[in-house]
Chain A
Amino acid sequence: MTSKELKAIDMWQEKVQLLYEKDKCIGCGICVQICPKEALMLNPTGASIKGYIEEDPINLDQEKCVICGVCVALCPEDAFKILINGEERTLIVENDGLPEEIKFEGEISIDQEKCPKGCRTCEEICKEEAIKIDEEIKIDEEKCTYCGSCVIACPSEAIKLKRTKLVCEETDTKIMKRVKDTLLGEVRLENMLPAAPETKENE
Chain B
Amino acid sequence: MSEKKKEKSRVKEEPRIGVFVCDCGLNIAGVVNCSEVTKYAEKLPDVVVAVENKYTCADSGQEEIKKYIKENNLNRVVVASCSPRLHEPTFRRCIESVGLNRYLFEMANIREHCSWVHPHEPEKATEKAKDLVAMAVAKAKHLKPLPKIQSPVINKALVIGGGVAGIQSALDLADMGFKTYLVEREPSIGGHMAALDKTFPTIDCSICILGPKMSDVGNHPNIELLTYSEIEGIEGYIGNFSVRVRKKARYTTDECNGCGECWNVCPVITKNEYDRGLGPRKAVYIPFPQVVPLIATIDKDHCIECGLCENVCEREGAIDFDQKDEFLDLEVGTIIVATGFSDYDPTGEYGYGEYENVLTGMDFERLINASGPTLGNVVRKDGKKPKSIAWIQCVGSRNEKNPHCSNFCCMYAMKEATQIKEKYPDTEVYIFYMDIRAFGKDFEEFYKRLMKRGVHFIRGIPAEVKETKDKNLKLVVENTLLGRVSEYEVEMLVLSTGCMPQEDAQEMQRKTNISRTADGFFMEAHPKLRPVDTPTDGIFLAGCAQSPKDIPNSVAQAKASAASAAIPMIKGVVEPDSIIASVDPEKCTSCGLCAKYCPYHAITHEKGKPVEIIEAACKGCGTCAAICPVGAMEQQGFTDAQLMAQIEAALKEKPDQKILAFLCNWCSYGGADTAGISRFEYPTNVRVIRYMCSGRASAKLVNKAFELGAGMVLVSGCHIGDCHYIDGNYSCEDRMKRYEKTLERKGIDPRRFKVEWFSASEGGEFAEYMHKIEEERKKLEKEGVLTPMKKK
Contact = CB atoms under 8 A, between A and B. Distances in A.
A28 B301 CA distance: 27
Interface stretch (B78-86, B307-315, B406-414, B525-533): B307-315
A11 B311 CA distance: 29
Interface string B448-472: 0000000000000000000000000
A69 interface: yes
A84 B306 contact: no
A11 B373 contact: yes
B305 A9 contact: no
A13 B373 contact: yes
Interface in B332-383: 367, 373-374, 379, 381, 383
A174 interface: yes
Contacts of A84: 269
Contacts of B379: 13
A11 B306 contact: no
Contacts of B374: 12-13
A9 B269 contact: yes
A173 B308 CA distance: 6
Contact of B268 (A12, A68, A174): A68
B381 A66 contact: no
B302 A11 contact: no
Given A12-B374, A173-B311, A175-B307, A69 B267 contact: yes
A11 B280 contact: yes
B260 interface: no
Given A174-B307, A175-B304, A67 B367 contact: no
B373 A97 contact: no
B271 interface: yes
A70 B271 contact: no
Nearest to B277: A11
A12 B310 contact: no
Contacts of B311: 172-173
B306 A92 contact: yes
A68 B271 contact: no
B306 A36 contact: yes
B269 A12 contact: no
Q: Which of B265, B269, B283, B302 has the most CB of A within 10 A?
A: B269
A152 to B, nearest CB: 24
Contacts of A91: 266-269
B551 interface: no
Nearest to B305: A174
B545 to A, nearest CB: 30
Interface in B264-293: 265-271, 277-280, 283
A82 B780 CA distance: 74
Contacts of A9: 269-271, 280
A94 B302 CA distance: 19
Contacts of A2: none
A169 B265 CA distance: 19
Contacts of A92: 267, 306, 308
Interface in A1-42: 9, 11-14, 16, 36-37
Q: Which of A12, A14, A96 has the most CB of B within 10 A?
A: A12
A20 B515 CA distance: 53
Interface string A167-183: 00000111100000000
Contact of B304 (A13, A14, A68): A68
B383 A13 contact: yes
B265 A95 contact: yes
A97 B277 CA distance: 27
**Which bracket fits the contact residues of A?**
20 to 34
A111 B539 CA distance: 75
Interface string A53-78: 00000000000001111100000000
Contacts of B266: 91, 95
Interface residues of B, number: 27
A68 B383 contact: no
Nearest to B383: A13
Given A13-B373, A36-B305, A175-B306, A68 B278 contact: no
B310 A16 contact: no
Most buried by A among B306, B374, B383: B306
Nearest to B321: A174
Interface in A143-189: 172-175
Contacts of B373: 11-14
A12 B306 contact: no
Contacts of B269: 9, 16, 67, 84, 91
Contacts of A175: 304-308
Nearest to A37: B304
Nearest to A35: B304
A66 B270 CA distance: 7
Nearest to B282: A91
A200 to B, nearest CB: 21
Among B267, B283, B308, B383, find the residue whose CB has the most chain A CB atoms closer than 10 A: B267
B306 A173 contact: yes
B176 to A, nearest CB: 44
A192 to B, nearest CB: 18
A13 B267 CA distance: 19
Nearest to B363: A12
Contacts of A16: 269, 280
A179 to B, nearest CB: 10
B63 to A, nearest CB: 68
B306 A68 contact: yes
A12 B268 CA distance: 18
A67 B302 CA distance: 9
A67 B271 CA distance: 12
A174 B278 contact: no
Nearest to A14: B280
A14 B266 CA distance: 17
Most chain B CB neighbours (cut-off 10 Å) among A66, A84, A173: A66
A123 B374 CA distance: 53
Interface string B393-427: 00000000000000000000000000000000000
A26 B373 CA distance: 39
Interface in A79-119: 84, 90-92, 95-97
Contacts of A11: 271, 277-280, 373
A36 B267 contact: no
A66 B310 CA distance: 19
A11 B274 CA distance: 13
Contacts of B305: 36, 174-175
A91 B263 CA distance: 12
Contacts of B307: 97, 173-175
A86 to B, nearest CB: 12
A82 B303 CA distance: 17
A66 B306 CA distance: 13
B306 A174 contact: yes
Contact of A95 (B267, B279, B301): B267
Contacts of A68: 267-268, 304, 306
A85 to B, nearest CB: 10
Q: Would you list the 9 A-B pairs with minimal beta carbon distance, nearest first? A: A174-B307, A36-B304, A175-B306, A92-B267, A91-B267, A12-B278, A95-B265, A173-B307, A68-B304
Given A12-B373, A36-B305, A92-B267, 8 more contacts: A12-B279, A12-B367, A90-B267, A95-B267, A96-B308, A97-B267, A97-B306, A173-B306
Interface of A: 9, 11-14, 16, 36-37, 66-70, 84, 90-92, 95-97, 172-175
10 contacts: A12-B373, A13-B373, A13-B381, A14-B279, A14-B280, A36-B305, A67-B269, A68-B268, A95-B308, A175-B304
